[in-house]
Amino acid sequence: MKKYMMIAFTLAALCGASTLAEARPPTVMNSPGYDARLQESRKALGNSQTATAPANATVLKPKHSKKKQPN
């Protein structure tokens, strides 16, 4: 009896999972206008010089100090 119940449960789970795999929200679609605006904004961000550091700037490493352990 337990064997048949497990088979039935497994089949029900597989059928349920297969119907959920096809579901997607109706707002998911390709939009050429949105893609074009997104690419333009990324290109504008990539060309900005304010976000980048000059090539000859030196990078200073932070100084680490050990904490003294109490005796």
Q: What is the pLDDT of residues 28-37, one digit of tens each?
A: 677 778 888 8
The answer for residues whose C-beta is within 8 angstroms of residue 45's C-beta and 6 or more apart is 51
Output the pTM of the full model: 0.28
pLDDT above 60: residue 39: yes
pLDDT at 69: 78
Residue in this structure with the two tokens 């050429």, named with its chain if needed? 32
Q: Across the chain, what does the average pLDDT equal?
A: 75
